[in-house]
Amino acid sequence: MAIAELLLAALAATGTATTLYVSSYAGSVTTLSLTKSYSSYGLTNTSSSYGLTNTSSNQDCGLSPSWLELDKANGILYCIDEGLTTPNGSINTLKTSANGVLTPIEHHDTIAGPVSSIFYNTGKESAITLAHYNGGAISTWHTTAAGQVSFIEDIIFSMAQPGPVPTRQDAPHEHEAILDPTGRYLLFPDLGADLVHVYSFDPSTSFLINHDPLVADPGSGPRHAVFWSPEKSYARKDKLYFFLIQELSNTITSYAVTYQTAGGLAFKKVQTINTFGDKTVPIGAAAAEIIKTPDNGFIISSNRNDTSFLIENPDPKNSTKITSDSLAVWAPAADGTLHFIQLAPAGGSHPRQFSINKVGDLVSVGLQMSSTVVVWKRDLETGELGDLVASVGVPGQITCVVWDE
């Protein structure tokens, strides 16, 4: 009897930890540790809880770190500096470690304004490309397994005149670098020119080859995008779609994608919907990020400056509720249309970027103006976002958060 009572009363706890990296305009890259503890009471009742803590901080990515790209296989974190207060931006490499400490490897100046990057040509000639918002350009760089970087080329764009929203479309503004599912094409949404630039590349040199762009709706302001297919393997190229989120019009446009025999991509518009689904777009809202879930079943997007929710303060010592911008959950259909599932709180102000873990049950959100990283639980079956499970403050305006799993 005494043993049974001890089993019922005792707390047996085990835990796991995952590392996240966060960039911030405070000039830092912060390492966070997300822990999950399992507590068992007796033989049948089990509960779990999460904790999010700051384990280290690094100042070796310039003054305005804007984006992080992790080379997991080689333990190299690529960090780009937007250069908001300097004439140039920069690309920087950092060596990761088991304890979360980042050690600088290399620093190289770039043209102004890099805000996104993606690896490409990941064979013998490995490379990375950067999208430059303020520079209105693309740059490309050779990379090595040791984190060494060498320059390939700059491609600088121009416009004959401002776009329909002249305060934001005064010049080309490349906002993201995207690799297509075949690994043969790179795409760059241009918020200023209402285009998505399309390039292939020479496998022997990693130099880019220009193709006809996707022409978006005037004044829409293409920002980010994601490819999706009903078949997770992407085996059928006749069933491939491109979901483009547009900041100025607060819309998502889906396009059917066709690979051209002579090279390049063709796009056929399927649907345009507002980023709030069946709700009215709030004045001042600005669409931001869009990603695909690991199970391929859902699309998630974010909205900034909409203050759609009033939520509990994540600080248990503070009972004052806080306003929150939003995340939207969508179910893509086989015909390339998106169906609205949920509008959920982001956890605070300006969810500029967010990412999802490998399993797909946790979403980490970088809240730029709240200087906070939050983690939301996600239902794998319904796709809906649920409880807030962890939160931690990070100095400065947060720009990017990535998982190291």
Domains and CATH numbers, the chain: 2-404 (2.130.10.10)
Given a cut of 90, whether residue 237 has pLDDT beyond it is: no
pLDDT digits (tens, 9 = 90+) for 244-265: 999 999 999 999 999 999 999 9
pLDDT at 1: 41
**Consecutive H or E run containing 9:** helix 2-9
What would the 3-class secondary structure string for 312-357 be? CCCCCCCCCCEEECEEEEEEECCCCCEEEEEEEECCCCCEEEEEEC
Q: Distance between CA atoms of 390 and 377, rounded to whole angstroms?
A: 9
pTM equals: 0.94
Judge contact between 385 and 378, C-beta under 8 A. Answer: yes
Residue given tokens 């700051």 in the structure block: 54
What confidence category does residue 231 fall into, taking pLDDT thresholds of 50, 70 and 90?
Answer: confident
Please check whether residue 174 is in contact with residue 131, taking contact to mean a CB–CB distance below 8 angstroms.
yes
Q: Rounded mean pLDDT of the chain?
A: 93
Q: How confident is the model at residue 370 (pLDDT cuts 50, 70, 90)?
A: very high
pLDDT cut 70: percent of the chain above it: 93
Dig out the tokens for 377 from the structure.
Answer: 């639980």
Res 328: pLDDT: 98
